[in-house]
Amino acid sequence: MTDTSALDPEDRKIVTLARSARARNGVPEGAAVRDETGRTYVAGTVALDSLKLSALQTAVAMAVASGATSLEAAAVVTEAETATAEDRAAVRDLGSDRTPVLVAGPDGTVRATVTAG
């Protein structure tokens, strides 16, 4: 486990935003990504009959739709122990193999930092 207060302030911000999205929307996951200019995009799980996206996939899609060309970092707040292969692939598509993905529990404590690769 990682003490969230020990994180870089910008990384702590995306974890906090992801946690807030999860709580506010009552969804299984919340996520946030930071693009190459420092802008953040926040999302929750999308679970419609015709469309299913994880929170992290939704946040990446929002960044792309807003014109982002790269990602610096991503965060997901989830009950899961790590980011799924599909989530890491979405981050890698806009970022790189080395883009960090912070995985935090519902309390905001970072459990792991993995790379998109």
Nearest residue to 78 (alpha-carbon basis) of 50, 48, 112 = 112
Tell me, what's the pLDDT at 7? Answer: 86
Give the rounded distance of the alpha carbon of 1 from its chain centre: 17
Rounded Cα distance between 55 and 21, Å, is: 9
The reported pTM is 0.93
Rounded Cα distance between 59 and 81, Å, is: 19
Query: Which tens digit of pLDDT belongs to each residue from 15-68?
Result: 999 999 999 999 999 999 999 999 999 999 999 999 999 999 999 999 999 999
pLDDT at 2 over 80: no
pLDDT band at 4; cut points 50, 70, 90? low
Spatial contact of 31 and 54, defined as CB atoms under 8 Å apart:
yes
Task: Calculate what percentage of the chain has a pLDDT beyond 90.
Answer: 94
Helices (H), the chain: 9-25, 55-65, 85-94
